Amino acid sequence: MSIFYPDILQQRTPARTFTYRDKDVMLYALGVGMGADPLDEKELPFVYEKNLKVVPTAATVLAAGARPVEGAPAPQMPEGWRQSQINFLMVVHGEQKVELHKPLPATGTFTVESRTVGAWDKGKDKGAVIVNESVWIDDKGEKVATLTSSTFARGDGGFGGPSEGQPEPHVVPTRAPDLSVDISTRPDQALLYRLNGDRNPLHSDPESARRSGFPRPILHGLCTYGITCRAVLQAITDFDPEQIYSHQARFSAPVFPGDTITVDLWKDGKNISFEARVKDRNATVIKNGLTVLR
């Protein structure tokens, strides 16, 4: 048994600081396919430092270089606390949510702290769901962003934790989509996106992909997630990122670089529901999506 409950709910990281620059912001935008047409005046501000805009989901990668604060004490855990060790070879990213309490600036330095906020036991042979939260604080002590991610640990079920009470996914409307957006990905999309920090060879090395059961490298799930945010920017906010407060979704199937992703959107006031699919393979790749506008 590698997960100890409820000890896992005490897991947290010491405060870390990180800085990102305009280059990081532009690299992320390029990684989710923006700027393919360098004359597109709507997308150019995301990939050019003049009047630079930030894609809201860039928050998922901008803290990748976070380093521990010098001299920061280790977290103090209760007596008898046991460190949980998850089998990361059996881990799948299940869900992702970004909440922006303030719009992201083009450059910035922040402090980030992360903690485990939930763990659910699906059964010995059915895995476990672990939910982690990261909070960014600016130099004024104000909250800027909250990132919540759900991990499906396929090899860690049966630890004796609760089986019910996990947050329910957003339910998209049953009516036909109000609009749909087709976004093409390039054959080299994963090779560019990986420069944001995730260099898992599953996304770049054909042999590693085959060992994982795929015919070729797959696109990062967080890249697909960013593409769905790009679709909301394009179809709903006229490329104004400051209108987006939060963006969340579940990952349901892989995308291969070169696929065209169709993002279906439903607009209900400030709530934008969405799902994404690859029509050529009849595959739904993102489910239960919800963007909340300010």
E-strand ranges in the chain read 16-20, 67-68, 91-100, 108-121, 128-137, 143-153, 179-184, 244-251, 260-268, 271-278, 283-293
Please report where in the chains the tokens 């997960």 appear, as a residue. Answer: 3
- Active-site annotation holder among 24, 121, 156, 203: 203
Q: SS3 for 46?
A: helix
Phi, psi of 260 (to 5 degrees): -100, 125
Structure tokens at 134: 């990261």
Q: Is 101 a catalytic residue?
A: no
Q: SS3 for 87?
A: coil
Which helix (DSSP H) or strand (DSSP E) does residue 159 occupy?
Answer: none
The residues near 100 (Cβ < 8 Å, ≥ 6 apart) are: 56, 59, 144, 145, 244, 245, 246
- Active-site annotation holder among 40, 178, 198, 205: 198
Largest CA distance in the chain: 61
Positive or negative torsion for Cα 26, 27, 31, 33: positive
Q: Is 24 a catalytic residue?
A: no
The residues near 76 (Cβ < 8 Å, ≥ 6 apart) are: none
Q: How far apart are CA 165 and CA 55, in angstroms?
A: 32
For the annotated catalytic residues, the residue numbers are 198, 203
